[in-house]
Structure formats: C-alpha cells, structure tokens
Amino acid sequence: MKNVDDLIESAQALAERGFSRGEIADELNVSRETASWLVERSGAAQAADAGGPAIPDDIHVDWSALGRDSARLSYVGQAMADLLSKQGEAVDLT
C-alpha cells in the first residue's frame, strides 16, 4: 500500500505535466474524488490556477441515452458524416 505522501507527490507531478484529474485518477488507480483531493493537497491546483494553462474540468456524458433512440443515433451518424466530409482524404479510421 502506498503512503499518502507518495500519492500526493505523484499527483503533483502528474498535474504539473498537464494531466487532468480523471487521468491522474486512472494513473494512480484511485477514484476521481481522491485524485482531486490529492492534487489540492499537493498545491498543484493553486499553481495551475495562478497562471498556468487552463485545464478543463472533467465532464460526464451519458452515451447510453443515444443508443436507446434510433433517431438520436441517426442524428449523431449524420453529424459525424458531415464532419468527416470536411476532412477529405486525411481520415484514416472512423
């Protein structure tokens, strides 16, 4: 089991490298709430807020709502096709 201080140092290092809270949680194998707490404890959150690049907050998207409605799936497919048509031959995989 890792020491809390080691986790705080690891979270700080990852935050300074630009990792999001969700990515830090995945790297340290902890919950997102724990990752947020570790970053706040490390002081990296204040350093990022003080003038570093703005890091967007994690958001949750419930994609299952799309799969329950065929019309929604059709709209998403049309939107993706429209975006891909603007890319020309530059797209390798969809």
Give per-residue pLDDT as tens, 44-87: 654 444 445 566 667 777 888 888 889 999 998 899 888 888 87
Its pTM stands at 0.45
Q: Which CATH class is domain 4-48?
A: mainly alpha
Confidence of residue 2 (pLDDT cuts 50, 70, 90): low
* Spatial distance between the Cα atoms of 33 and 26, rounded to a whole number of angstroms: 12
User: Where in the chain are the domains?
Assistant: 4-48
